[in-house]
């Protein structure tokens, strides 16, 4: 069972996997989120007068909006109360929409300036900053950290399109590329995973030190969202983020993995596996059981 708490910051969660999320309002008015494996979503909120009557909280099982200050934040997001109008022909089916976007979505071609950050265990993560932002934006501009999904990075179309929207609103954006992703080097046997939050902790601290006058925010997709929410739960009141958004988070990784092996989802499983194999083939010598005998982890 995973737990997370939220106080002044808020989290928007839109799981695409079958989970049951039950919410419990604590006495100190903070929201406690309990995740259970199930085939549907149910809302069990002890303080029904606070949230259940809020018209901005949808009844759809595809999205849950939670947080310690829902009544303060949600009215600002008028778009959440609008009906969803799918794009004709393409978006009538989730599989068609996903595959179409992967082949035909444009790549904005954002120019980045890469910063390689050395971690305490001698690992390396890459931070891709938008070129020219230091000259165009004030030092106190809000700063957004993007965490792509499994094997994803700054070269992905969905990341660059999201980045472009943020920059139009004068936000400074940096993409956090995990170890081995987007040509980020692998310098230790330690790889990134859902349970490994140390790299994100280093990134947040580094960015906070570099831009002390900025409010920090983060958005994560899929595995990146899982790491982000876990990090926020671990940091609790120490968390330096002013806000975060979690998109398509596979909260229950066991169920998510099982779902990948069913029916058409095998297509996605194979695609992600190819991405992982590509990374392991490139940096195979870095992954070893025993450095003395240099037994390769990837065969």
Domain residue ranges in the chain: 1-85, 110-261
Residue 43 in this model has a pLDDT that exceeds 90: no
Pair 128, 114: CB distance under 8 Å: yes
Output DSSP code: residue 124: E
115 vs 32, more confident: 115
pTM of the full structure: 0.73
Residue 28 in this model has a pLDDT that exceeds 90: no
Q: From the centroid of its chain, how far is CA 209?
A: 22
Do strands 216-221 and 143-147 pair parallel, antiparallel, or not at all (unpaired)? Answer: parallel
pLDDT value for 69: 55
- pLDDT-wise least confident of 40-44, 173-177, 220-224: 40-44
Q: What is the pLDDT of residues 120-145, one digit of tens each?
A: 999 999 999 999 888 899 999 999 99
Among residues 41, 17, 90, the alpha carbon closest in space to that of 262 is found at 17
Do strands 172-177 and 143-147 pair parallel, antiparallel, or not at all (unpaired)? Answer: parallel
pLDDT value for 15: 38
Instruction: Annotate 224-235 with DSSP letters as a single string.
Output: HHHHHHHHHHHH
Could you tell me the fold of the domain covering 110-261?
Rossmann fold (3.40.50)
pLDDT value for 6: 38
Pair 172, 137: CB distance under 8 Å: yes
- pLDDT-wise least confident of 81-95, 117-131, 209-223, 281-295: 281-295
Pair 73, 67: CB distance under 8 Å: yes
Q: What is the pLDDT of residues 54-66, one digit of tens each?
A: 444 444 444 444 5
Which secondary structure element, helix H or strand E, spans residue 254, and what is its range? Answer: helix 253-260
90 vs 67, more confident: 90
pLDDT value for 173: 96
Q: Which of 86-90, 100-104, 292-296 has the highest mean pLDDT?
A: 100-104
Q: With bands split at pLDDT 50, 70 and 90, how would you rate the model's confidence at 160?
A: very high
């Amino acid at each position: 069972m995973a737990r997370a708490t939220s106080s002044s910051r808020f989290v928007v969660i839109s799981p695409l996997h079958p989970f049951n999320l039950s919410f419990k309002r604590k006495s100190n008015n903070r929201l406690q989120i309990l995740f259970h494996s199930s085939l549907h979503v149910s809302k069990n909120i002890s303080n029904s007068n606070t949230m259940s009557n809020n018209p901005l909280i949808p009844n759809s099982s595809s999205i849950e909006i939670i947080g310690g200050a829902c009544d303060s934040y949600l009215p600002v997001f008028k778009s959440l109360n609008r009906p969803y109008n799918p794009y004709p022909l393409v978006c009538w089916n989730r599989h068609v929409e996903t595959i179409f976007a992967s082949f035909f979505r444009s790549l904005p071609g954002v120019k980045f300036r890469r910063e390689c950050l050395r971690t305490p265990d001698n690992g390396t993560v890459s931070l891709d900053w938008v070129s020219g932002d230091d000259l165009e934006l004030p030092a106190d501009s809000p700063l957004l950290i993007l965490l792509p999904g499994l094997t994803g990075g700054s070269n992905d179309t969905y990341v660059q399109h999201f980045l472009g929207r943020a920059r139009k609103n004068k936000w400074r954006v940096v993409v956090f590329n995990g170890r081995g992703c987007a040509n980020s080097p692998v310098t230790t046997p330690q790889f990134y995973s859902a349970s490994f939050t140390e790299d994100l902790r280093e990134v947040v601290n580094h960015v906070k030190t570099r831009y002390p006058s900025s409010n920090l925010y983060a958005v994560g997709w899929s595995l990146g969202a899982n790491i982000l929410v876990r990090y926020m739960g671990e940091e609790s009141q120490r968390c330096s983020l002013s806000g975060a958004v979690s998109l398509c988070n596979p909260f229950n990784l066991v169920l998510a993995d099982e779902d990948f092996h069913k029916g058409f989802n095998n297509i996605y499983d194979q695609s992600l596996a190819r991405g992982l194999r590509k990374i392991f083939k490139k940096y195979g010598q870095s992954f070893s059981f025993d450095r003395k005998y240099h037994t390769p982890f990837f065969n």
